[in-house]
A and B are shown apart, each in its own frame.
Chain A
Amino acid sequence: MINVFRYTLARFRGQILGWGLGLFLLGLLVVPFYDIIVEQREQFEQLLKNYPPEFVAFFGGIDAFATPEGYLSVEFFSYMPLILGIFSVLAGSGLLASDEEKGTLDLVMAHPLSRTALFLGRLLAFVIATLAILALSWLSFVVAMNWSALDVGWGEMALPYLSLLGVLLLFGSLALLLSMLLPSRRLAAMTAGFLLVASFFITSLARIDENLEGIANLSPLNYYQSGEAILGLNGEWLLGLLAAAALFAILAWWRFERRDIRVGGEGSWRLSIPWRRVAVRGG
């Protein structure tokens, strides 16, 4: 498993650097802007009052824009699930299906390596890659806050990232599960991406329309705390997100253990029914 983990993590190297450094630079840009907001607080608050209340509510109540948690929510954390969701959905859906479609999984699986070891090695590499990207982003805020009025401790600053981690792992493992169930990685990524965007809009619209609160309770992003986590992490919500991620990962593993490995290319629409499989018994 450790060889698979190392190799997969090495393959994530480019994505870790690309996403991580991109977010690092974004953090360095976002933090100094907070000082301008604070200096011109009254003008900004006046400006916000002119916006329709629905618009303000959609973005999670930007009336608290001048507070650290409000500012970080609006300027960074509110849209991070969508931005980094692209990474997690693509990485999750391609974790096994990408190599299978390229035809390279066939030979790897012919080595003395159990399906469980391959699955866990790759999943662990995905988790570590996600953590590394978030850590680089977190580091940029911690560094930049030394020269800013944005005064949040490094520990508090890590809390929204934990909430974001929960969301990313959930959608990554959902994409992985879908790649095990649907005929192609492309379709799995599209479906998981659609669910991510739908979750974002349902959660945001539920702040405007109370009638949507029921369905919003089913939306993973309803349990994402954004910048508000600085004031205190909701452990139950985080555990819920992580538990859902673990459930999707277990189902994906269960399916991977039982399915045929394709020689290459995308699969067909035929969905095999696991319990119809007749086990080969000793004779």
Chain B
Amino acid sequence: MNQPMAITIRGLTKFYGKAPALRGVDLEVGRGEIFGFLGPNGAGKTTTIRCMLDLIRPNGGTIRVLGLDPQAEPVAVRARVGYLPGELRLEDNLTVEGALRYFARLRGGRVDWGFVRELAERLDLDLKPAIKNLSHGNKQKVGVVQALMHRPELLLLDEPTLGLDPLMQHEVLHLIAEARAEEATVFFSSHIMSEVQAVAERVAMIRRGEIVEVAETASLINRALRRARVRFGQPVDGKLLGNVPGVTVLSQDGTSVLLQVAGEMNGLIKALATLPVRDFETERPSLEEIFLAHYESDLGEAK
């Protein structure tokens, strides 16, 4: 029997008063995927995630989480989902262990406490202190543990590494990868492009409440424009390279030419074969550059 998609969203709209937060979001996330959800502040990432948990009610569209309608069966959905909010707030008067035991009780006590201790140990989280005495990073670790401790089928993580030091960021990404290895689906938003690039198989980019791109992370990077720097043994006419389809000359400085290449490199390499090439370097853009390219109009408006 085919399992339903982990997440299916169709035409999701949400207004806060008259201000649209989501304008017809469409998304599909398969079982066992690690899916990155990217967008600047206020783009609709948190709103989308909170709609999936029935914390807020959409104005239109359909959502299915693990085949269930969150509005019709919120308890069943939440039982199978681990959630880390983007703005994590915990009850200050509890200890770390007290908070985690309370969350475990809310899950009907079906939590392996040995696994909780293992997670805490891996994240270097002491269970004894009061929440009010924890740093922001340590509170974030509590959030990560409570999201993972019941081994959910679906993880909804809103900025999971926010406030963590690089070592712990790395450990959280390991935990995400391990959850996936145990066939969990991971849907996470992040501002840190390098970590999305490192773990996400597919990404969606959201801008002003609309999905502007959904693609496999690798193909998104592969099909993006690449830059090539060529150094020649003697000055050459840059126009020769500019005439190659898909190639644009960005700058020329004596014997060095900086090019931008769209699509395949084949034409450029054939053209270079006829010239006295001394050195040839190419670089792919990072996910961050692709992200910034998508949102540069927003950045321009903001300035």
Residues of A within 8 A of B (CB): 3-4, 7, 11, 102-104, 106-115, 258-261, 263-264, 268, 270, 277-283
How far is B60's CA from A108's CA once the two chains are assembled, in angstroms? 25
Judged by a CB distance under 8 angstroms, whether B103 is at the interface is yes
Given contacts A107-B85, A260-B55, A282-B62, 16 further A-B contacts (CB under 8 A): A106-B50, A106-B55, A106-B85, A106-B89, A107-B89, A107-B146, A111-B107, A112-B75, A112-B76, A259-B57, A261-B55, A264-B87, A280-B57, A282-B64, A282-B69, A282-B72
Using Cβ atoms and an 8 Å threshold, which residues of chain A touch B86? 263
Interface of A is mostly: loop
Q: Which listed residue, B57, B87, B105, touches A103 by the CB 8 Å rule?
A: B87
Using Cβ atoms and an 8 Å threshold, which residues of chain A touch B10? 283
Query: Chain B's nearest CB lies how many Å from the CB of A231?
Result: 45
Residues of B within 8 A of A (CB): 10, 17, 46, 50, 53, 55-64, 69, 71-72, 74-76, 78-79, 81, 83, 85-91, 93, 102-103, 105-108, 143, 146
How far is B59's CA from A104's CA once the two chains are assembled, in angstroms? 25
Q: Which 6 A-B pairs have the closest CB atoms?
A: A103-B89, A112-B79, A111-B106, A260-B56, A283-B62, A110-B83
Report how many A-B pairs have Cβ atoms within 8 Å: 90
Residue picked from B55, B72, B88, most chain A C-beta under 10 Å: B55
Give 21 CB contacts A-B under 8 Å: A7-B105, A11-B93, A102-B89, A106-B89, A107-B90, A107-B143, A109-B55, A110-B83, A111-B106, A111-B107, A112-B108, A114-B75, A260-B55, A260-B56, A263-B87, A264-B89, A278-B59, A280-B58, A280-B69, A280-B71, A281-B62
How far is B194's CA from A29's CA once the two chains are assembled, in angstroms? 70
A110-B53 contact given A7-B102, A264-B87, A280-B63, CB 8 Å threshold: yes
A268-B17 contact given A112-B106, A282-B62, CB 8 Å threshold: yes
How far is B56's CA from A108's CA once the two chains are assembled, in angstroms? 14
Q: Is the CB of A113 within 8 A of B72?
A: no
